[in-house]
Structures are given as structure tokens and as C-alpha cells.
Structure 1
Amino acid sequence: MPSAAPVLVQPLRLAGPGDRHLVTDTLTALHGWSSTRTPESQTRFTSPCRTAALSVNGDVGSPVAWTVHGYTTPGAEPLWRASFSSGTPAEVVAAFTAALAEDLSARHYLQRASTPASVLADRGWRPSEHSPKGFHDQVAPDGWALYRHRLGHQPHEDEVSRLVPPTWSMLAGSPQQPSWCAEFTIGVPFHPLTQAAAAFSTPGPVLRCADEIPARHLARVTVLRRPSGRSTHPAGPVEAGRPHLPPARPAPAARRR
């Protein structure tokens, strides 16, 4: 099978970065975010209300890192930050940014009964017995991803400036040497965070070119089949169009966020 042949891969979190247009086209075409080029050679997408901005660090054909900042008012100092390192699947980034854009369009952040921790628990992620001091980890059933919640309070500006660890993190690959990570500071809207966690934990499958799958993940992913049709470009999850989350129900009071 040619290396560029499209295949269906699961789980999503180990499938590789995918198509960046899954993130950017949704923001510009559906939600009216504007695009500019910054002096730092980043592409910056800004919401119509100018209270959120996505910075894309990386040119076409190169690895991409994504950073989203939220503001209370246009021109103010950032209130929160969400960042996705190079290698993060575009579906995870898109789950966060699409939910954020939808909430901003509606002029309010949606409240959901589900939390990231409860979504992961419902999918078999369990508390780790080896969480570092000051953190609470949930580990994927295969052991190759974790969701980390930092305990205690730190000033939000220190988190945004990366002076202290973020409140929430998603790490995929070996826990000791993750292939990619996403960080979310205190103040990140909870609906987009929960949608990102849902994408992070979905089994998939997703469409990728065979040579896009990271070599270190080949022994950990399942290639289901070669899809029919002519498309050779990565696409969203096969279940796209269905709700990202399971039916909302009140989460047990003892569960962590």
C-alpha cells in the first residue's frame, strides 16, 4: 500500500496532526474570524467580538503549534490561555475552537452537566496511582494518554505567562515522553474544554494518510481499513455530525473537574 494512501486510524489522539484546515476553515467560513499575519510570522485568527484569538505557529508543510487567548475586553491583557503543541491532532484543536466560536457567537458560554473528568471516566479513564504531588491524573485505558488537573490555586496571570503549571493538561503518548500536549489555564471556558476532552478521548477512527501516523505510535494504533473514494486528505472523525459528548447527565458530586 503506498505510504500516502488514506487509511482509518484509531485512537484519534495517536493518529497524527491531520489537516490544519479543519480548525481554520471552520473559524473563518462559519464564524467570521479574521485572519492576519503577525510580525512574528504567525497567522492570527481573531473573533468578531475581539475577545478571543488563535495564533498558528508554523508554515504550510511544517509542524504547527496552536495558542488561543481569551480577553475580557478587546485590547486587555489575556485572561486565559489554551495551547496545543506541535503534533496535536487537528480534531482536538477544532473541538475546542469550534465550541469557543459557537459560544462567542451566542454571546454566552454554554453550561453543561458533563465535565472533562466525567466524560473521561465514562470512557474508562481511571485515576492514576502515580500522579505527581499536587496533581490528579486520569489515565487512558491503554495507558498512552493522561488528563492532568493541578490542585491548588495560582494567579491566572502566572499561568497565562507560563510561570506556573497550567490547571489542566492533556498528554498523549508515553507519559514520560509525551508526543504532544495541550495546556489550559484557569479561566478557560468549560464548554470548549469539555469538548476538547471528548475529542481527546474518542476512539475515532479518523482519516489519515498512512505516512502521517507517527512512527512511535505505529505499534499503538489500529489501522482499520482503506476507505473507498478518491479523497486523500485527512478529514474529521468518522462520527462527525454526532454530538461530541454522551447524553448530558449530572456528574457525581465527588468527581473532579
Structure 2
Amino acid sequence: MTHPFENLDPDQSVQVLPRHLAGPGEADPRTAWPFPYDEGWPYAQTDAGTAAAFSPCLRLQTTYDPQPDKPGKGTWTINAHRAPFTPPAWQITFDATTPVELLHDVHTELLDLYLEDRHSDHDRLFQDETAPHEAYALLLTRGWSHNVNTDGTQTFLTPEGLGGVRHRYANRDSSKLAWFSWGGHPSEPHWRARFSYGTPTTLIAAFTTSLVSTEPLPRTVQDVPAHTRRALYVATTTAKQPPGATSVAPPPPAPASGRTR
């Protein structure tokens, strides 16, 4: 069985969907973190690529720790502290193989929450009242399956079964994950994302909204994970195909619009 990548050059640029199978893209902290560094957000990066950024109040810390020889290729981490230098109140971690656009959208929402709290009497970074369904309703409208378990978790799976989101709705044990997501085969996913209890639901919603967005992601063929390519759609190519190449598959029909930024 052939697939849209069969006759494309490894260096050819493409735009692909669905996002959860697109591959990580360019792991550049300044691409993932849309912070206003000229407004007091400290940023530092070592020669090895490890990077960190902080909010001016030092309550937010986000880091990138590349480890190319390990599964997941490293970690992106967000820590939120009620006061500087105290243990995190909540934490989000992404494998470095997570599509960078998902990271960017979560960090953009994080900055929005920070600025909203700063200029109001709200504290949504730690007292977010957004209902959990705001984070998963969009998955259902995009054809994801839904299974509720008696252990207090519910699981949402992508239509092709190569990605999912799990929500622990009945356990407030802060030592356990409230949300967990992955892309790829469940037994060997391309990437994982973990959200501790206390993470603002608004950030989960930003993540799931980006996850199911029908805006294709730019990649080169060689950057797209090979063993799930048959589940991908190539929306466009930006380089000439070699002679005899088959035409690319069209993108999936765009479903009804969901929450947008």
C-alpha cells in the first residue's frame, strides 16, 4: 500500500495533518516561548541547548532540556509557584518530540493568563474556574471516541486510534496526573504530554484546541515519523516532486470551528 510520502524527496517541504502525527518540528525555545523578553522576562540558554525562561515575578518557570539519546529526546517543562523558590503548585511536561506548535499555543495561553492576573484581581494561574468540558468538548466534535472507566478516568481517542487524551476526573490526589496525552501508537508513542493536578483547565483547553486544529503544520518529509505516515494527509508540497511521483492526498474535510485564539 502506498502513501502520500512514497515518492517524495526526504528534504521536500510539506504541510501535514493531523497535528499529533506531524513530528516535533524545530525545537527552538524562542519559537515555543512567546514571552516579552524585553519586558523583564529573563532568558538563558547553554551551549548544549538547555534553556530556561522566567516571569518577572519568578512564579513561572519554563525550561527545555534536550537529551537526544533518550526516548522523547528530552523534556519541555512548565512549573508554576505560588511564591518564588517554593515547590511547584502545578507542572506540565512535554516530551521534546511533541509538535512545537502545541507547545507554542500552550505558552501563549500561559502568558495571557499571567497578564490577565497581573492586571486584575484574578488569580487564574492557581484558581482557574474553567470547567473540564471546555478542554474535551472540542475532541468530541472532531470525531474522537469517548470511554469512561470506573477508576475515575475518561479517555478520548483520535479517529484513527493513533493519539489520545486521558482525564482523571474523580481523583484529586495531587501526586497523580490530572491529564495525559500522546501521539502515535499507544505502546510506543511519538510524544507524551503530562499535566499535574492544579494545572489551569484553560491551558488544557489551549492544548486540545491546538491538537485538533485543521491548520496543517510545515515539515520536511524526513522529519515526519515514518511508521504512522499512512495516517497522515499532505495538504501541500512546496518543492517539485520527482518524475513519476503520485499525487498527494487531499486534506481531510474541515469540521466545524471550535475554540480559536
Q: TM-score if structure 1 supplies the norm length?
A: 0.76
Shift of 1:175: 2.1
Deviations 1:180-203 (A, max 9, x none): 110101111121110001111224
SS in structure 1 opposite 2:35?
helix
Amino acid in structure 1 at the alignment position of 2:109: A
Deviation at 1:57, TM superposition (A): 0.7
Distance 1:128 1:30 in 2: 46
Establish whether residue 83 from structure 1 lines up as the match of residue 93 from structure 2.
Answer: yes
Give the letter for the 1:116 counterpart: A
- Counterpart contact for 2:27–2:96, Cα < 8 Å: no
**Alpha-carbon distance between aligned partners in 2 of 1:32 and 1:115, rounded to the nearest angstrom:** 32
Q: Which residue of 1 aligns with 2:63?
A: 55
What's the offset of the Cα at 1:227? 3.2
Q: Cα RMSD between the aligned structures?
A: 3.0
2:251 aligns to what?
none
- For residues 1-257 of structure 1, the aligned pairs below 5 Å read 1-21=8-28, 22-24=31-33, 26-29=34-37, 33-37=41-45, 42-58=50-66, 63-107=73-117, 108=122, 109=124, 115-128=134-147, 133-156=151-174, 158=175, 164=176, 166-227=177-238, 245-246=258-259
The question of whether the paired residues in 2 share the 8 Å contact of 1:47 and 1:101 is answered with no
How many angstroms apart in 1 are the aligned matches of 2:20 and 2:39?
26
**1:172 touches 1:180 (CA, 8 Å); kept in 2?**
yes
Q: Alpha-carbon deviation of 1:134? A: 4.2
**C-alpha deviation, 1:126, in angstroms:** 2.0
Could you tell me which amino acid in structure 1 is paired with residue 140 of structure 2? A
Task: Give yes or no for contact 2:22–2:224 (8 Å, CA) kept in 1.
Answer: yes
| Partner in structure 2 of residue 254 of structure 1 | none
8 Å contact kept, 1:137–1:148: yes
Q: Is 1:65–1:85's contact at 8 Å kept on the other side of the alignment?
A: yes
* Structure with the higher fraction of residues in strand conformation: 2
Instruction: Return the offset for 1:154.
Output: 4.4
Residues 41 and 247 from structure 1, CA distance in 2 versus in 1: closer, same or farther, beyond 3 angstroms?
Answer: closer
Change (3 A) 1:31 1:112: farther
Q: Is the 8 A contact 2:23 2:190 kept in 1?
A: no
Report the identity percentage.
23
Once residues 150 and 34 of structure 1 are traced to their aligned partners in structure 2, the CA distance between those partners, rounded to angstroms, is 34
- CA distance in structure 1 between the aligned counterparts of 2:52 and 2:158, rounded to whole angstroms: 33
The TM-score with structure 2 as length reference comes to 0.75
- Structure 2 spans left out of the alignment, 5+ residues: 1-7, 240-256
Superposed displacement of residue 59, structure 1:
7.1
**2:179–2:194: 8 Å Cα contact kept in structure 1?**
yes
- Tell me the secondary structure at the aligned position of residue 111 of structure 2: helix
